[in-house]
Structure 1
Amino acid sequence: MSIEQTIAELSPFLGDRLAQSKSELEHHGQSESYFPATLPDAVAYPESAAEVSRILQTCNRLGCPVTGWGAGTSLEGHALAVRGGIVVDFSRMNRLLAVNAEDMDCVVQPGMTREALNTELRATGLFFPVDPGANATLGGMAATRASGTTTVRYGSMRDNVTGLEVVLADGRIVRTGSRARKSASGYDLTRLFVGSEGTLGLITELTLRLHGQPEATRAAVCAFDSMAGAVETVIETVQTGIPVARIEFVDQTVAQIFNARSNAGFPEKPHLLVEFRGTDASVAEDTARFAEIAASHGAEGFRWAERTEERTALWEMRHNFAYTLKAHYPGRRFVFTDVCVPISRLAETVEETRADIEASGIPGPIVGHVGDGNFHSSLAVDETNPDDMRVAKELAHRMAERALRYGGTVTGEHGIGLGKLAYMEEEHGAAWAVMGDIKRTFDPKNILNPGKLVPPTD
């Protein structure tokens, strides 16, 4: 690889949109994960699929690594340029290209954020539902198969991306899927690229499914004496078929942090945060049924939020938890990890994880999109204690092994990146090697986000 030659060939047409300043490289060389900073050699800011194609043609010919970049949170190190090369930042490709209100879909560029999209959609009566918490870019959300608080009702990115424009490693621009609601035509390449973490191609356009704004919305928070009571409420709610829009779990440690940082006034117990959407009548019926189920499992202190500002405050507190956590444990570094298990195994998985964390001596609050069996732990590491990082990684390892033992997956949301490569063979068996075969077909020179997701090739 000749990075100097690559930069020399890209500079004439990108100009000042090929950055090499120290500040640019440092910004694109770190993430919110525990991995050390890894600086790229240059950062490209394309403005069209044609420019992305030209970048990839050049990099492929010269064997230069290429890593896509969206919001850059990258909790498992997905967007770190571990072998240097070019980072392609999509922040200048951030437009809403089309809204097809009658068909309830839209076309966007990858650098548009989910919040910006929903702001643009307000006048249409439609919205895009996938909500991972952070104001992520839509291309990155597709690349990591993002989900979040509303997945229990609306599905993940897998369910809400109907078509893509993707630039392959050799510069070919391909389109996958269509705007039709279903198709029996050929391989489902859309779903192949959704979740591929930038290892098969760079997404330059997305067609997204939209949903109608509900007539009524009601949210609530309630406390439980035990973690088991909260989780059993989730399980029964899901199994009963109540169409809950969000159902989030926070443990007693999180309740304490919310009180300390946001004056939440929560009892220091496990809590559920829930939301229902629909007509006035359906929301009233669903909330009543949920309240009965929750009460049967020991719920207390229901606080209902019907006004928009009350609901917004509730969900902002949940969405901002990672930043609240950093303020609550100043100077600490975090190992953020998540797993997902079948709903029937959720209670024991959460309880075993909580007991394991408490025995370790490391703070590790648990939150979860538990309506689909997914929960997270944020392990707060004191870097002045040389044992803390080791203990945190061991906790995360046991959490992953526990999920696999119960028929789940090592990540329901964060993805694989660098952090969870070690579990891929155990989870997927021979299918992991097949993923490597697919990678070599699409990217025989291994320039796209090398070192991530698939078996190592060199």
Structure 2
Amino acid sequence: MTSVFDGTPFDIDTRPSVLDQFTADETGRLGRRPRGIAYAAGLDDVLAVVGWARDTRTPLITRGAGTSLEGHLLARGDELILDLSQANSILDLAPADFTATVQPGVTRTRLNAAAAEFGLQFTVDPGADASLGGMAATNASGTTGVRYGGMRANVPALQAVFADGRVARLGRAVRKSSSGYDLKDLVIGSAGTLAVITELTVRLHPIPEWLRSLRISFPTVREAVAAAVELLGLAVPVSRLEFVDAASMAAVNAFRGSGYAETPALFIDLEAASSAAADADEREIQRVCRAYHADGIEVARTHTERHTLWEDRHQLFLALKARSPRHRFLVTDTAVPYSRIADAVGTATRLGAELGLDISVAGHIGDGNVHVVVPYTDTTLPTALRFSDEVVRHALAVGGTASGEHGIGLTKKKYLRAEHGPAVDIMTTIKQALDPHGLLNPGKILDA
């Protein structure tokens, strides 16, 4: 590694070939070359980098696995990247407390491999093998959110370094607390704009004894969504409830070599305490879905069958990218009340057709989370942005949110005031109080 900075107590990589790897995110959105890359393996390294950045007024972007989709990690000027991927130790695994304490660079699959030895799992599953620090920074959710919630529900405590160098432990590793302001949840979802997360205590949950997975096809989007909403109102222990449209299923077939019906579908997981209970719940799910004209039901009972079924869902974004080579991708992730899900999906589908865009709609429908993937080129970018504006404005108009799980980053901050009103001024006050020089991930969430 080479450094062009004098007096730094740490190495900074400034090789152009390395910096170029940090100029785009997963969607292909482009930024500038950062000033350099500093790697941290623990708290002392983070303190050194944050202290130097404060003394030299150098803006800082904290990065983990780099799977963010809203431009959180892109340099806009002369930022230094603080890479925490090497801070990847599992510090403590406490089965009796159903918790694990980890450094921020630990990925969810690595934690799950360790927890599985005790019959436990970390349940937040955004699809990508993201780092837990990054997942906390964006308040990630995912396929299991319908039962287990997102990161705020699954991180009872964390340690963070603030811009002035203070180190604070926020929250406690207990089931609940009513002690003081909830600063922990303020940092979660702040995308590195308020502090650098250096340690997390996360909740673990028992791996269910009996699991069933189902892929169910429907003639129309509206029937698939209606079936999903009815399932949410029943006592069936559904832990995953995902929607994909016909275009998404066609992309999966092309990418995975499968031969599924290219119609709207639900992907469902149910958890049960016994084989008999699993059988009964499966019958109830099938009954509801057939009432909405389900025309294809596949049930996966073994681990191998379930893994294959969910890989189709998890690799959807890769399938969509393969279907549209030489494109970049705009990904919306609005969330709306359950009663408005069908309208949100229908609005996106109609707008895509009107604007001539090759969109695909999917989402964590159990959370009301509607994702639309829009391939675009330089020529079609203005149309894609117009589409995104219309989709977000519809979500806000019906009481939803501009971002259900990806966060605000660069691309969604223009909607903040429409969603939150004067509360944006309070957010700005908090940012200025904790980071008066605007050094932590500047220009993300709020304007610099």
TM interval, shorter chain, is over 0.9
Deviations 1:81-109 (A, max 9, x none): 21222110001100100011101001000
Match for residue 353 of structure 1? 348
CA pair 130-90 structure 1, distance change in 2 beyond 3 A:
same
Match for residue 108 of structure 1? 102
Match for residue 262 of structure 2? 268
**Displacement of 1:325:** 1.2
Q: Structure 1: which 5+ residue stretches go unaligned?
A: none
CA contact (8 A) 1:30 1:39 kept: no
Which of residues 434, 439, 447 is equivalent to 2:439?
447
Match for residue 183 of structure 2? 189
Letter of the 1:436 counterpart = T
Deviations 1:223-280 (A, max 9, x none): 1111100000111111223221111111011111122222322212111111111222
CA contact (8 A) 1:49 1:173 kept: no
Aligned: 1:254 with 2:252:
no
Match for residue 405 of structure 1? 397
Deviations 1:32-63 (A, max 9, x none): 23532321111111111122112111111221
Higher mean Cα deviation, 402-411 or 178-187? 178-187
- Rounded Cα–Cα distance in structure 1 between residues aligned with 2:23 and 2:10: 21
Higher mean Cα deviation, 124-133 or 249-258? 249-258
- Rounded Cα–Cα distance in structure 2 between residues aligned with 1:432 and 1:242: 39
Match for residue 127 of structure 2? 133
Aligned: 1:292 with 2:283:
no
- Rounded Cα–Cα distance in structure 2 between residues aligned with 1:266 and 1:382: 29
Match for residue 58 of structure 1? 52
- Rounded Cα–Cα distance in structure 1 between residues aligned with 2:254 and 2:36: 42
Which of residues 125, 137, 146 is equivalent to 1:143?
137
Match for residue 410 of structure 2? 418
Which of residues 173, 176, 183 is equivalent to 1:179?
173
CA contact (8 A) 1:9 1:58 kept: no
Deviations 1:371-403 (A, max 9, x none): 1100111111144xx2x1111111111000000
CA contact (8 A) 2:20 2:33 kept: yes
Letter of the 1:109 counterpart = Q
Give me the TM-score of the superposition, normalised by structure 1.
0.95
Which of residues 368, 371, 374 is equivalent to 2:369?
374
CA contact (8 A) 1:247 1:371 kept: yes
| 1:37-436 alignment runs, 5 A limit | 37-279=31-273, 280-383=275-378, 386=379, 388-436=380-428
Q: Structure 2: which 5+ residue stretches go unaligned?
A: none
CA contact (8 A) 2:216 2:297 kept: yes
Letter of the 1:318 counterpart = R
- Rounded Cα–Cα distance in structure 1 between residues aligned with 2:281 and 2:78: 52
CA contact (8 A) 1:339 1:410 kept: yes
Aligned: 1:30 with 2:28:
no
CA contact (8 A) 1:108 1:207 kept: yes
Give me the TM-score of the superposition, normalised by structure 2.
0.97
**Displacement of 1:361:** 1.4
**Displacement of 1:179:** 1.1
Higher mean Cα deviation, 138-147 or 63-72? 63-72
**Displacement of 1:174:** 0.7
CA contact (8 A) 1:93 1:112 kept: yes
Letter of the 1:375 counterpart = V
Match for residue 10 of structure 2? 14
- Rounded Cα–Cα distance in structure 1 between residues aligned with 2:277 and 2:363: 26
Deviations 1:275-321 (A, max 9, x none): 11122233222221111111111112111011111111111111111
Deviations 1:1-30 (A, max 9, x none): xxx99x3232xx324xx2111122111222
Q: How many residues of Structure 1 are paired with residues of Structure 2 in the alignment? A: 445
- Rounded Cα–Cα distance in structure 1 between residues aligned with 2:17 and 2:423: 40
- Rounded Cα–Cα distance in structure 2 between residues aligned with 1:57 and 1:116: 31
Other structure's SS at 1:436 match: helix
CA contact (8 A) 1:83 1:450 kept: no
Letter of the 2:400 counterpart = G
- Rounded Cα–Cα distance in structure 1 between residues aligned with 2:60 and 2:83: 11
